[in-house]
Chains A and B, each alone.
Chain A
Amino acid sequence: MLKEHPTLRHVFGRAGWYFLTFLVAGTLNFVLPRLGDANPVDVVMSKVSGNIDAKTAREKEEAYLKEFGLVEVDSAGKIVRDAGGKPVKASIVSQFVNYVGMCLSGDFGTSIHQYPKKVGEIIKTAIPWTIALQLPTIVFGWIIGNILGALAAYKRGVFDRLFYPLALLASAVPAFCFGILLVYLFAIRLEWFPAAGGYSEGLTQTLSWEFIRSASYYYLLPFLAIFIPVVGGQAIGMRSMCIYELGTDYVKYAKLLGIKENKILFYMFRNAMLPQLTGLALALGAMVGGSLIAEIVFSYPGLGLTILTAIQGNDYSVITGATLLLTVCVLVANFSVDVLIGFLDPRVAAGIARSE
């Protein structure tokens, strides 16, 4: 059955590839933080210790070591000790197994900075904000940017001459710089919009009309900070692609045949969109990264701020949990774009293998 559906084959192939990437990313997520000497327990201890005696301190430390999976635990749940009575450190392999087990069951561990809060809890509140901000922004930014770029390529003239340098500037400025600019201009100086946060203080996060209104108000500046650079970047790329397409033989031929202008524009857009989609897939990781920084500038209650706070508090559990989740999101997004390309690219439909 798969033989007759090259598109399906493509989708399955990409799924397999992304799964492999996920495995690598997950492993990296585990290995990298443990390369240094960071010991999460030390951090926790430094917070907790104070007026406790040595014995209680040691008990607490062992309890934490057990909780963070850093020591060997026997089948009864008790810490395995060596000849001298000291806890046996868990090997890196068993730590890894533990890690995989925890991830599969959805338990990302316990936060260090905000002990004893669970990592999952912390991330759960932040993720909707990030998705609500980044997803529409990147999607609409891509669509609008490409439309504007196509317009500029088709119309040329005054519109293009005005638009091109603006788009170039917008694409060259990093997202966080835009954020800073917008905050300073519109929030600090002009005081038209709030400078920080996701919603007015004092409001609870419910789906009440009041909350939604407030959240939208706080949404605008962060939205623009990410939206404008994305539009600029896409417009520049699309403009070049369209200018190229408009000069191709097939456009000339379509004109010779008497095919309508609108149809020809449709050809141009459709053909230029494919490389743009591919470009999107390649740039998604960087886009998400840049947007996270923009979030931080606005103290927006999303993953960006969560990671920043975690870094400031040496909270390795939250850092690794958040980065793993982010990577998964980027992989899912990339996969979606790849599937979309698979459906739109006739070379795939014709059964010709796409080379990366």
Chain B
Amino acid sequence: MSEPILEVQDLRLHYLTRFGEKIHAVDGVTFELKKGEILGIAGESGCGKTTLVSGLLGLYIPPLHHTSGDVRIEGKSIIGMGVERNRKEVLGQKIAMIPQGALNSLNPTRKVKDLATDMILAHEEGADRKVVYDRLRERFGRIGLDAEHVLNSYPVALPAGTKQRVVIGISTLMNPKVVIADEPTSALDVSTQKAVIRLLFELLDQGIVSSMLFITHELPLLRHVSSRIAVMYAGEFVEHGTTEQVIFDGRQPYTRALMGSMLSAEPGQKSKKPIAIEGAPPNLAKPIAGCRFAERCPVARLDCPTTKQVLRIVEGREVRCKYAESTPQTVGNMGAGST
């Protein structure tokens, strides 16, 4: 079955400021997610990741507005639904999010089973509570928790690792087709991180979720988890390819710079110094006609700021750079032989 689970077509989203300005936070994003795929999304803060996620969830709450483009889950578009329909049919049901800072996401005055039941009842009105409880017990047991104990506890009584699992469990209760994991391991120690990642893989393997979007700042995680990676900058994807391609052989200068700055102390990499990318992301109220990265690009040419850049296939991946074929290996320090 090669029908894509998630299709995003030229999605454009904007924020309306108090002064009537339109900030084009997501400016034409297109990609697909097939069953079993994990797409990693990398980018600096302010690149539009968070807005993109809101758009995928259908959360168009002012000042965020949908400009144009489509988001389809299993072939059905989720654009243009009202707030109520979106809440009932999309959020948590078709596409779910595991938020950043999941540890504070559980209502302290609600027992775990009550919160989980609230979630189920929000989508399946009138469900029988006993039936729901059995379902919760089964699911929580499946994800490796002591179901009886955890379900009847208040969040305050649970350790961090358990809470993270609970959040993952609740988010995926309705077997969403797409799950978005936003920095799911940032506040955890290494062994718990591994357990959480393993859990996410299991969910995918068991078919509880069908596909995943993984957002992270950590390079080793990105590499370990994703089958494909998309690099986002200034509201657009600037490179989209397989993990190997994007991490080790990025063609967009920004990709290489980003990967270089995400370098961590992995064995063999210690000799390479991370390079911070100078400058700041551009103003998205009035995007320039040409390459948005041009003013910070170490190998920018004279016509880069004025030439419209489109995504094109270069060496088996999508790149948004006119001179992608000749991106020097020295950029970003990931190339062989450079120090």
Contacts and interface: CB of A to CB of B under 8 A. Distances in A.
Nearest to A259: B122
A298 to B, nearest CB: 41
Given A252-B99, A346-B154, A258 B123 contact: yes
Interface string B147-182: 000000110110000000001001100000000000
Dominant SS at the A interface?
helix
B57 interface: yes
B97 interface: yes
Interface string A229-272: 00000000000000000001110111111111001000100110
B105 A258 contact: no
Given A248-B104, A267-B107, A346-B108, A257 B122 contact: yes
Given A259-B119, A260-B122, A352-B156, A252 B92 contact: no
B100 to A, nearest CB: 9
Contact of B118 (A259, A345, A350): A259
B87 interface: yes
Interface residues of B, number: 33
A248 B108 CA distance: 11
Interface string B87-104: 110111100110101101
Interface in B168-216: 170-171
B156 A346 contact: yes
A253 B99 contact: yes
Given A263-B122, A350-B153, A256 B107 contact: no
Contact of A271 (B101, B106, B108): B108
Contact of A263 (B93, B118, B123): B118
Contacts of B96: 256-257
Interface in B102-126: 102, 104-111, 115, 118-119, 122-123
A133 to B, nearest CB: 34
Contacts of A346: 108-111, 154, 156
Contacts of A253: 99, 102, 105-106, 167
A347 interface: yes
Contacts of B97: 256
B154 A350 contact: yes
Contacts of A260: 87, 122
Contact of A257 (B92, B108, B157): B92
B92 A258 contact: yes
A254 B119 CA distance: 8
12 contacts: A248-B104, A253-B105, A253-B167, A255-B91, A257-B119, A258-B87, A258-B90, A258-B92, A259-B119, A267-B107, A346-B110, A346-B111
Given A253-B102, A254-B115, A257-B92, 20 more contacts: A250-B104, A250-B106, A252-B99, A253-B105, A253-B167, A254-B118, A255-B91, A257-B170, A257-B171, A258-B90, A258-B123, A259-B118, A259-B119, A263-B122, A271-B109, A274-B109, A347-B154, A347-B156, A349-B154, A351-B157
